[in-house]
Amino acid sequence: MGLVMGTFSMQSKPVNYHRDNIDDDLEMTMVCHRPEGLEQLEALTNFSKRELQVLYRGFKNECPSGVVNEDTFKQIYSQFFPHGDASTYAHFLFNAFDSAHTGSIKFEDFVTALSILLRGSITEKLQWTFNLYDINRDGYINKEEMTDIVKAIYDMMGKYTYPVLKTDAPKQQCGCLLSENGQKQRRCGHS
Ligand SMILES: [Ca+2]
């Protein structure tokens, strides 16, 4: 979960909300995408209006246009893993955030996912994570997909892990979880 949360940290400085609303309105006239109203987002997520305002300011600081494309997402995410190559994992993560497959992440996508990962039920968290691992979105996680994700995480952590990992470690670990022919594949939510 911490790997997901590395991006877009919440700001802690005191905020003047009256002034902020004015500033936001002015700035929103220049952005490409204006998010849903706070009431709608509050209903869609487990965040309060105040939390959503703080999150939006953080999002807007990182992404002034109001949307994040994959290249920008990778650049932001890679900053948290300077010793490794986070691009592949960031690609998988981007696709999970971009649930509507639009090629960009809007503020709504961001806070909806964040709400699940931070305050969702166990089932919601598992469903979200399942979608991250189900790379081709066919409703199953096969051994190849599991291996790709685990390898991407190892690549992201870099070569300075302890103990040092062998190059075939991702394949070996996934072999313990899933059979070669995929007989143990399970559709999320079904036995
Ligand atoms: Ca799949």
Residue 142: per-residue pLDDT: 96
What's the CA-to-centroid distance between 3 and ligand 1, angstroms? 22
Question: How confident is the model over 163-189, as pLDDT tens digits?
Answer: 666 666 766 666 666 655 554 445 544
Question: How confident is the model over 74-90, as pLDDT tens digits?
Answer: 998 899 888 899 999 99
Residue 75: per-residue pLDDT: 92
CATH of 38-158, one of 1.10.238.10, 1.10.560.10, 3.20.20.70, 3.40.50.10490: 1.10.238.10
What's the CA-to-centroid distance between 185 and ligand 1, angstroms? 9
Token pair of 68, please?
């994040």
What's the CA-to-centroid distance between 138 and ligand 1, angstroms? 5
pLDDT above 50 (res 35): yes
The answer to whether 134 touches 148, Cβ cutoff 8 Å, is no
Taking the mean position of all CA atoms in its chain, how far away is CA 182? 27
pLDDT category of residue 38 using cuts at 50, 70 and 90: confident
Domain spans in the chain, listed from the N-terminal domain onward? 38-158
- 8-state DSSP, 13: S
Question: How confident is the model over 1-31, as pLDDT tens digits?
Answer: 444 544 444 333 344 444 455 445 444 444 5
Residue 21: per-residue pLDDT: 52
Residue 180: per-residue pLDDT: 54
